[in-house]
Amino acid sequence: MNGNGRADDGNRVDTLDIATTRAWIRAAAAAVDRDREVLTALDAAIGDADHGANMNRGFTAVTAAIGGDYAPETVGQLLAKVGMTLISSVGGASGPLYGSAFRAAGRQLATPEADGDQLALALRAALDAVRALGAAAAGDKTMVDALMPAVTAFDDAVTSGAELRAAARAASDAADAGARATTPLQARKGRASYLGERSIGHQDPGATSTALIFAALADTLDARVAER
Ligand code: ADP
Ligand code: MG
């Protein structure tokens, strides 16, 4: 046990470095590719059936943009690149929203490694950016319904001294629960709002993709430990 009373077994993950951030974004791209038909089917029910294609186009462009000889000096630079690439490659509403989120998070992370407190601030900034751009409140049946509980869960975990891996898993679980909880809601923002009451009974596609992105972070941090 270390001075904090935690098991000091060498398996703690306390910071997110550039390599792990890159692995996270690649894992998110792989998850979007794997689930693109699911995302499209959800968007077919309450939108225009392009969310899977939009996200896959965006993350394919992102994978190319952060590969090869791209060598960011900070975690924030890498996330800014992700954000700018999503904005320029995704036509739908989700592109500018996710793009702004990654760019806002990136602005908080001007170091080669980010700790839990920095990441909590970055996630909060991402949520604020999505809300500033899309003006969605909790319960409007949008990605905010996954992002907001994830940010809160991450914050709570970090504040209570949890390691990054546990905080990311808590955020992922909260995003997943938040996405599932959009099903009975009536959409009040985005294309799905045009359906009025007919949007009830379907899970929101953007909340679902947000949960995928958080799951990719948690899985990537788990994999980092398994590699040791
Ligand atoms: P589009 O609606 O332009 O076809 P996508 O299908 O890629 O774009 O993305 C749809 C998702 O975007 C929705 O499921 C919702 O989660 C999210 N979204 C749409 N409008 C908003 C908004 N104003 N605020 C937050 N999220 C939104
Ligand atoms: Mg759509």
Distance 219 CA to ligand 1 centre (A): 25
- Please provide the distance, in angstroms rounded to a whole number, between the alpha carbons at the two ends of the chain: 19
Give the position, in ligand 1's atom list, of the atom nearest the Cα of 95.
7
HSE-up of 192 (CA within 13 Å, CB side)?
A: 33
**Protein residue closest via CA to atom 13 of ligand 1:** 206
Does any domain span residue 50? yes
Residue 226: per-residue pLDDT:
83
**Spacing, Cα 221 to ligand 1 middle (Å):** 28
Q: How many domains does the chain have?
A: 1
Looking up residue 108, the CATH number of its domain turns out to be 1.25.40.340
- Whole-angstrom distance, CA of residue 155 vs CA of residue 82: 23
Question: What does each of the 228 residues of the chain score in pLDDT, given as a tens digit?
Answer: 444 444 455 678 889 999 999 999 999 999 999 999 999 999 999 999 999 999 999 999 999 999 989 999 999 999 999 999 999 999 899 999 999 999 999 999 999 999 999 999 999 999 999 999 999 999 999 999 999 999 999 999 999 999 999 999 999 999 999 999 999 999 999 999 999 999 999 999 999 999 999 999 999 999 988 887
Asked whether residue 1 is assigned to any structural domain, the reply reads: no
Q: How many Å lie between the centroid of ligand 2 and the Cα of residue 175?
A: 20
Please choose from 39, 48, 51 the residue to mutate so as to test ligand 1's pocket, defined by most ligand atoms within 8 A of CB: 51
At residue 17, the 3 state secondary structure works out as: strand
On whether residue 6 sits in a domain, the answer given is no
* Structural domain contains residue 227: no
Residue 9 maps to a domain: no
* 191 CA closest ligand 1 atom index: 2
CA distance 220 to 25: 9
The one-letter amino acid at 59: F
Tokens of 116: 């839990």
For residue 15, what is the DSSP state?
A: E
Q: Note the pTM of the prediction, 2 decimals.
A: 0.95
Nearest-CA residue for atom 24 of ligand 1: 134
Q: Under the phi-then-psi rule, with left for phi > 0, alpha for psi from -120 to 50, and beta for the rest, what region is 159?
A: alpha
Q: Which domain holds residue 202?
A: 15-222
Q: CB of 125 within 8 A of CB of 118?
A: no
Q: Comparing C-alpha atoms, which of 60, 128, 138 is closest to residue 100?
A: 128
Distance 155 CA to ligand 2 centre (A): 30
